[in-house]
Amino acid sequence: MNFEDTMRNINTYQTQSGASALQTNKVLRNTYFLLGLTLAWSALIAGVAAVMALPHPGFLITIVGFYGLLYLTEKNRNSGLGLLFVFMLTGFMGYTLGPIINYATVGGGSEIVMTALGGTALAFFVTSAYALTTKRDLSFLAGMLMTGFVVLIVAVIANIFLQMPALTLAISAMFILFSSAAIMFTTQQIVNGGETNYISATVTLYVSIYNIFISLLNMLGIMDD
């Protein structure tokens, strides 16, 4: 290989690296922008549901609505319909928050909601910052997330029948750890180019933030009781 070929290969590599970095930055920027919009939209719907004292849709409708809209979002993530279903999903989840917030604020419990909001924001910023700055490979979290998901499903189903406050507290703590790991894993996947679809990334981060907030409300409510 002569000098000209070597320089040509170097220039090609630099061009490809630059394009890859631009693509990564674009996915990260679009993800955070869409995440901010969906969080604001969800908060608006939650506020309206709380003010109007709308009833909670119930466990079954919540599960069917969530997974149905999640499926439609992922199925259409590469088209404009994906954005529509993202806002339908986050709006629906915001609606489910309204009655929960009303219940949590009964008897002057607004401090619990504000504490949960602050804790959720802190958890998101800390985990995101760590994933963005660390040089450690977090791909090992993929297996842990899969195992954790199965454990959480089993624990939630068991607690439907057992209704044990201690188990509820443990499940909430596990959800916080699981969701924090999901935020770190997804964020680093975006940075490393493993996640190239900002709609999928947004949904993962949104659901993680939602779970952390609900889990903190549960934990603070149980300890307050």
The 3-class secondary structure across 150-188, one letter per residue, is HHHHHHHHHHHHHCCHHHHHHHHHHHHHHHHHHHHHHHH
pLDDT of residue 11: 47
pLDDT of residue 65: 95
pTM of the model: 0.86
Joined tokens for residue 214: 């609900």
pLDDT of residue 83: 94
pLDDT of residue 107: 56
pLDDT of residue 198: 92
Dist. CA 222–CA 215, nearest whole Å? 11
Dist. CA 128–CA 187, nearest whole Å? 6
Give how far Cα 160 sits from Cα of 26, 163, 207, Å.
42, 6, 21
pLDDT of residue 220: 85
Joined tokens for residue 89: 């999903």
Joined tokens for residue 102: 């009303």
pLDDT of residue 118: 93
CB burial readout 104-115, b (16+ within 10 A) else e = beeeebeebbee
pLDDT of residue 223: 62
Centroid of chain to Cα 16: 31
pLDDT of residue 225: 56
Joined tokens for residue 186: 């997804």
Dist. CA 154–CA 147, nearest whole Å? 11
156-70-27 Cα angle (round to 5): 115
Dist. CA 184–CA 182, nearest whole Å? 5
**pLDDT block averages, 10 residues each, the chain of length 225:** 44 44 79 95 94 89 94 93 96 94 74 90 94 88 89 89 86 94 93 88 96 92 64
Dist. CA 12–CA 216, nearest whole Å? 50
